[in-house]
């Protein structure tokens, strides 16, 4: 089946104006000002007039098995469902474990990623969890990257947090080094996804790697960088002075932000205003992970659940509220994570790329249609493909 999206205003993510997009199976065949429909072919036409067309979004930090448990066993969040992902315009996810690497493990994470692929989206995983030594499938970070197709990096490794294994900076550098070499040998990103807590050490471990070793900052992605204004400022300095990459978490409820927490959309604007190159900023949702609330003494106070749908909410807020231009606001969920994760067929609209596409209303920017690898997943704002147990 051929699909033709007609008349949408195309952001690839750069602005290309009104374009038609022809899809063959799971790939984009071509884009052009006008593509005529031939009666000789069976073509499904999608009317894109009055809409903007974006690349499908990439969420580089999702707890696809669920997360949490910090409030004991009953606080473990459930596994994610397909429509939790697609209804937010996300077509590619990278799954991770998080705090609990015992009752959730790498074999289950890999199986869940393969299940999501079978249901219609693209899914990868990080090997490991908060813990150091890193818990892997094969016994080695490097071996996991080289031998297991879905593994694109390591994480989320926790630092500057009371829940981390408190690794030394040398141990941390070794994890980054092994992940980088595994990526080189497998042709993958070799990216370390780093959970940033609210401790006083902040990004000092990443600075040590960037300044005292030969490893480039592109192998490290610190997330939750907007959990406080001081960590955000440290992230701005790290990105601006050392060329580091930084990730803003979107899943916090904007109506119930913790004291000193910064919305991802606001954090994006502040970073751009203070000179952080726009190519070094990514968003991720922390979707389906727990959002624990702790007192100053470390006592657990309460728990929420992250939502993948928050990813596009913060992109939309960046455009409508923070007045960031559309192309720049799209970069943290399209080409930036695609480039960092070495996924050349993702995050952009061009011939040969995967047909991961999102149509939104040009006035409200609300999601109307989502296609993942050419398959219609959401139509008129509602999921039309559901997961196996939905």
Active site annotation includes 255: no
Under DSSP, is residue 167 helix (H, G, I), strand (E, B) or coil? coil
Q: Kindly give, in sequence order, each residue whose CB lies less than 8 Å from that of residue 349, ignoring residues fewer than 6 positions away.
A: 10, 11, 12, 13, 16, 21, 28, 31, 53, 54, 55, 357
- C-beta separation of 320 from 257 below 8 A: no
Phi, psi of 184 (to 5 degrees): -60, -45
Buried b (16+ CB within 10 A) or exposed e, 308-345: bbbbbbbbbbbbeebebebebbbbbbbbbbbbbbbbeb
Q: What does DSSP say about strands 367-372 and 57-62: parallel, antiparallel, or unpaired?
A: unpaired
Written as six digits, the tokens of 137 are 């499938």
Which residue in 286, 339, 354, 356 is the catalytic one? 286
Residue 253, beta-bridge partner list? none
- Helix, strand and coil content of the chain, in percent to the nearest 5, comes to 30, 30, 40
Helix 264-273 × helix 229-242 angle, to 10°: 40
What are the residue numbers of the active site? 286
């Amino acid at each position: 089946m051929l699909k033709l999206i007609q008349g949408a205003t195309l952001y690839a993510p750069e602005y290309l104006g009104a374009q038609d997009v022809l899809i063959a199976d799971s790939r984009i065949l071509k884009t052009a000002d006008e593509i005529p429909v031939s009666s000789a072919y069976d073509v499904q036409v999608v009317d894109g007039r009055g809409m903007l067309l974006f690349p499908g979004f990439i969420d580089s930090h999702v707890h696809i098995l669920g997360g949490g448990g910090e409030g004991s066993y009953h606080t473990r969040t459930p596994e994610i469902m397909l429509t939790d992902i697609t209804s937010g315009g996300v077509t590619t996810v990278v799954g991770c474990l998080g705090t609990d690497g015992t009752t959730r493990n790498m074999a289950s994470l890999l199986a869940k990623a393969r299940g999501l692929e079978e249901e219609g989206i693209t899914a990868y995983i990080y090997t490991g969890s908060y813990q150091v030594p890193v818990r892997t499938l094969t016994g080695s970070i490097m071996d996991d990257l080289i031998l297991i197709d879905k593994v694109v990096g390591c994480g989320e490794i926790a630092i500057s947090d009371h829940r981390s294994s408190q690794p030394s900076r040398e141990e941390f550098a070794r994890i980054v080094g092994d992940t980088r070499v595994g990526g080189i040998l497998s042709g993958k990103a070799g990216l370390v996804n780093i959970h940033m807590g609210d401790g006083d050490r902040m990004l000092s471990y990443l600075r040590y790697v960037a300044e005292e070793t030969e490893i480039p900052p592109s192998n490290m992605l610190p997330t939750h960088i907007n959990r406080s204004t001081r960590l955000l400022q440290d992230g701005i300095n790290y990105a601006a002075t050392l060329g580091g990459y930084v990730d803003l978490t979107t899943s916090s409820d904007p109506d119930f932000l913790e004291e000193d927490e910064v919305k991802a959309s606001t954090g994006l604007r502040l970073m751009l205003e203070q000179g952080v190159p726009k190519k070094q900023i990514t968003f991720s949702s922390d979707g389906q992970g727990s959002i624990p609330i702790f007192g100053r003494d470390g006592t657990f106070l309460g728990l929420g659940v992250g939502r993948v749908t928050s990813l596009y909410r913060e992109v939309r807020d960046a455009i409508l509220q923070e007045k960031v231009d559309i192309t720049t606001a799209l970069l943290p969920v399209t080409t930036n994570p695609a480039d960092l994760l070495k996924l050349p067929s993702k995050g952009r609209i061009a011939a040969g790329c995967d047909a991961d596409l999102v149509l939104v209303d040009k006035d409200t920017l609300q999601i109307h249609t989502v296609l993942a690898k050419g398959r219609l997943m959401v139509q008129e704002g509602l999921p039309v493909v559901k997961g196996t147990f939905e």
